[in-house]
């Protein structure tokens, strides 16, 4: 994971790179560092903690940056989050500084060899190995030294390197990890994500795998592994600068939960065709003929995106009767997948950067399957590598825990399922009835948000428990997984999402008066069964908080507390129930004083395998 940001050609380059780095904080936030030149010598600063701490430290030192600066925000892989392990890493004589994103898989062997040659290491990281290797190989130019060292390195990684002999140059390289270069009026920027560039940078060049870049003020040169120059047209990317603000909110997470009605409206905008009871989806890059030939769908994702995928798979089977398999990308990529003709792959990833999802997509593409990406970040790796893209239009999601991106994933998947259904057996009236429910969704979500004070009150009662079960059936099962994940990640409470019918096959042993159950009961077809499962919980003295859309009397005797949500059809009830789950997790985390926007040990984009 980690984020790299550099710039060449600005007088106050340290300020500029730290501002870019703040936009990369989603990639990791356990420590950060920056390097630049002073009197032709490399100077650097590293701090444990957020970029704001680094900012204060550079300010105190009066470190302004002379035309060039290179910075890094870290998510620890090798070595604890300490100052020593923070980037940049330097060689023994401080002639070279390096920032690194990714993992060097053979770092132990390399470290051993370097140690045998007398090199002294200051950190536990795999990254420091690269700095020493390149420094040892430096003869006359940094580009050549980097190029000669690269074949020794195994893994997926991106690097940025500077050397005191070339104080106007950054050398960058990437392999299975993103790097982009942006240019504006004599200034050249380097970043792990083009969305971190200043707003005036619109033209962006993405480095492809195995390419080396030399950045100087207003100049970018690209080379292949043999240092043969490469020509590359820049791409124009869309920017979303205005929304990187919390406004009056204490946390981005609550702001983003509250933005869901608007985000869903955006996801639906211009994508519905009411008269025909169907959806029209731009960006699929598949003809009607190709869509009709789809015989099966394979959905991939990780974490929250995987949960949205489970709901999507159920909807595609229910509405379109197309067999749909859902897989966790990190497992699937190692399965030597069997891809039958007629398979359409849907990769779900908010960031478009999740390493496991990207790797699974690459594997499936080599097997010849068309890949459709459902995601949020324009210009991301999956946006570029997938054959087609359905954008979530959720707007930037800054809170590390995914909220509005999740609901928009479900909404976009529902549009896809509807379209596929209408191309098969679903009648126009059935399509219209589905759209009626879909169009009501933003207002229904708003109803839940308007009553969030009630959920905040319940959170006060439930915040004291350290173990939870989240139960549901059918569409409410993935909702339970998702709600449990939200609680785990932002409040650090142990929470198990489980299919309610499975409880009696083992986990019911854990139910007692100190382990409450949050029960998602809004799947109408399974409501009676769900009620019986909750009776089993009550019989074991379990406390039950039910998310319900029915008259509260229907749950008399089984629910101790209720969160009421509007009633809708089963597939879309997943959105409403999830919003209730998000609010519950948020307010419990608030009660427990957790760091809600940036929970410990996490990062927004998981770019390591």
Structure tokens that stand for 409 in this block: 């994933």
Q: What is the Cα Rg of the chain in Å? A: 25
Q: Which is nearer to ligand F6R, 114 or 606 (CB)?
A: 606
Q: Does 354 bind ligand F6R (CB under 6 A)?
A: yes
* Nearest-approach distance from CB 605 to ligand F6R, in angstroms: 6
State the Cα–Cα distance between residues 52 and 331, nearest whole angstrom: 37
The one among 169, 191, 260, 357 contacting ligand F6R by CB under 6 A: 357
Size of the site for ligand F6R (CB under 6 A): 15
SS (H, E, C) 181-238: EEEECCEEEEECCHHHCCCCCCEEEECCCCEEEEEECCEEEEECCCCCEECCCCEECC
Between strands 296-301 and 324-328, the pairing is parallel
In the shown chain, the binding pattern of residues 390 to 409 toward ligand F6R, with x for contact by CB under 6 A and - for none, equals -----------xx-------
Q: Does 607 bind ligand F6R (CB under 6 A)?
A: no
In the shown chain, the binding pattern of residues 468 to 487 toward ligand F6R, with x for contact by CB under 6 A and - for none, equals -----------------x--
* Nearest-approach distance from CB 391 to ligand F6R, in angstroms: 13
The one among 324, 350, 523, 526 contacting ligand F6R by CB under 6 A: 350
* Nearest-approach distance from CB 349 to ligand F6R, in angstroms: 3
* Nearest-approach distance from CB 411 to ligand F6R, in angstroms: 15
> What H or E segment, with its residue span, contains residue 137?
helix 127-137
* Nearest-approach distance from CB 406 to ligand F6R, in angstroms: 7
Question: Counting Cβ atoms within 10 Å, is residue 427 exposed (0-12), middle (13-18) or buried (19+)?
Answer: exposed
State the Cα–Cα distance between residues 527 and 517, nearest whole angstrom: 16
State the Cα–Cα distance between residues 123 and 83, nearest whole angstrom: 9
Please identify the residue of the shown chain whose CB is closest to the bound ligand F6R: 303
Q: Estimate to the nearest angstrom the gap between the alpha carbon of 421 and the chain centroid.
A: 29
Catalytic residue among 15, 175, 404, 604: 604
Q: Does 304 bind ligand F6R (CB under 6 A)?
A: yes
Q: Does 349 bind ligand F6R (CB under 6 A)?
A: yes
Catalytic residue among 2, 7, 174, 515: 2
* Nearest-approach distance from CB 600 to ligand F6R, in angstroms: 14
Is 437 one of the annotated active-site residues of the chain? no
Structure tokens that stand for 256 in this block: 């983003």
Q: Does 24 bind ligand F6R (CB under 6 A)?
A: no
Q: Does 142 bind ligand F6R (CB under 6 A)?
A: no
Q: Does 606 bind ligand F6R (CB under 6 A)?
A: yes
Between strands 187-191 and 180-184, the pairing is antiparallel
State the Cα–Cα distance between residues 5 and 15, nearest whole angstrom: 12
Taking residue 504's Cβ as centre, other Cβ atoms within 10 Å add up to 12
Q: Which is nearer to ligand F6R, 34 or 347 (CB)?
A: 347
Is 604 one of the annotated active-site residues of the chain? yes
User: Near ligand F6R by CB under 6 A, which window of 8-16, 110-118, 234-242, 297-305?
Assistant: 297-305
Q: Does 195 bind ligand F6R (CB under 6 A)?
A: no
Q: Does 605 bind ligand F6R (CB under 6 A)?
A: yes
Asked whether the bond before 88 is cis by omega within 30 degrees of 0, the reply is yes
Q: How far is CA 562 from CA 181, 368, 546, 559, in A?
A: 52, 49, 5, 7
Q: Does 496 bind ligand F6R (CB under 6 A)?
A: no
Question: Counting Cβ atoms within 10 Å, is residue 569 exposed (0-12), middle (13-18) or buried (19+)?
Answer: middle
Q: Does 608 bind ligand F6R (CB under 6 A)?
A: no
Q: Which residues are catalytic?
A: 2, 604
Binding site for ligand F6R (CB under 6 A): 302-305, 349-351, 354, 357, 401-402, 485, 489, 605-606
């Amino acid at each position: 994971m980690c984020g790299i940001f550099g710039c060449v050609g600005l007088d106050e380059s340290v300020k500029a790179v730290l501002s870019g780095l703040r936009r990369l904080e989603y990639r990791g936030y356990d420590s950060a560092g920056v390097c630049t030149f002073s009197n032709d010598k490399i100077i650097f600063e590293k701090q444990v903690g957020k970029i704001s701490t680094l900012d204060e430290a550079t300010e105190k030192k009066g470190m302004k940056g002379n035309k060039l600066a290179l910075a890094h925000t870290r998510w620890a892989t090798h070595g604890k989050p300490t100052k020593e392990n923070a980037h940049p890493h330097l060689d023994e004589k401080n002639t070279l500084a390096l920032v690194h994103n990714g993992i060097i898989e053979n770092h132990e062997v390399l470290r051993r060899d370097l140690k045998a040659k007398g090199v002294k290491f200051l950190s536990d990281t795999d990254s420091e190995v690269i700095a020493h290797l390149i420094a040892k190989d430096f003869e006359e130019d940094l580009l050549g030294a980097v190029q000669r060292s690269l074949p020794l390195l195994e893994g997926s990684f991106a690097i940025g390197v500077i050397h005191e002999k070339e104080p106007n140059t950054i050398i960058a390289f990437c392999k299975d990890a993103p790097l982009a270069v942006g240019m504006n009026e004599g200034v050249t920027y380097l970043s792990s994500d083009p969305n971190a560039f200043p707003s005036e940078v619109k033209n962006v060049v993405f480095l492809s795998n195995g390419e080396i870049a030399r950045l100087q003020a207003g100049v970018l040169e690209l080379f292949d592994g043999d240092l043969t120059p490469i020509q590359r047209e820049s791409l124009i990317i869309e920017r979303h600068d205005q929304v990187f603000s919390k406004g009056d909110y204490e946390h981005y997470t609550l702001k983003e939960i509250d933005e869901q009605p608007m985000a869903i409206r955006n996801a639906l905008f211009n994508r519905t065709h009411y008269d025909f009871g169907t959806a029209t989806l731009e960006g699929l890059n598949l003809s009607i003929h190709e869509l009709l030939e789809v015989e099966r769908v394979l959905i991939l994702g990780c974490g929250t995106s995987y949960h949205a995928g489970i709901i999507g798979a159920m909807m595609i089977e229910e509405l379109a009767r197309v067999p749909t398999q859902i897989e966790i990308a990190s497992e699937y990529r190692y399965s030597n997948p069997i891809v039958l003709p007629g398979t359409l792959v849907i990769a779900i990833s908010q960031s478009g950067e999740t390493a496991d999802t990207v790797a699974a997509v690459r594997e499936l593409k080599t097997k010849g399957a068309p890949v459709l990406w459902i995601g949020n970040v324009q210009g991301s790796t999956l946006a570029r590598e997938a054959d087609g893209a359905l954008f979530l239009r959720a707007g930037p999601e800054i809170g590390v825990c995914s909220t509005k991106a999740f609901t928009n994933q479900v909404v976009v998947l529902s549009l896809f399922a509807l379209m596929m259904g209408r191309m098969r057996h679903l009648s126009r009236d059935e399509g219209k009835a589905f759209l009626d429910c879909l169009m009501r969704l933003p207002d229904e979500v708003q109803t839940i948000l308007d009553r969030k004070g009630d959920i905040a009150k319940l959170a006060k009662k439930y915040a004291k428990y350290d173990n939870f079960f989240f139960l549901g059936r059918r569409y409410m099962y993935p909702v339970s997984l998702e709600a449990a994940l939200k609680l785990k990640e932002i409040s650090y409470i142990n929470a198990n999402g489980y299919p309610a019918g499975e409880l009696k096959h083992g986990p019911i042993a854990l139910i007692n008066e100190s382990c409450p159950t949050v029960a998602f009961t809004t799947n109408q077809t399974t409501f009676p069964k769900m009620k019986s499962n909750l009776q089993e919980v009550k019989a074991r003295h379990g406390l039950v908080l039910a998310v319900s859309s029915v008259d509260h009397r229907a749950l008399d005797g089984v629910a101790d507390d209720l969160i009421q949500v509007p009633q809708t059809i089963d597939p879309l009830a997943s959105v409403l129930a999830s919003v209730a789950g998000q609010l519950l997790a948020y307010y419990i985390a608030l009660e427990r004083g957790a760091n809600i926007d940036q929970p410990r040990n996490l990062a927004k984009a998981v770019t390591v395998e």
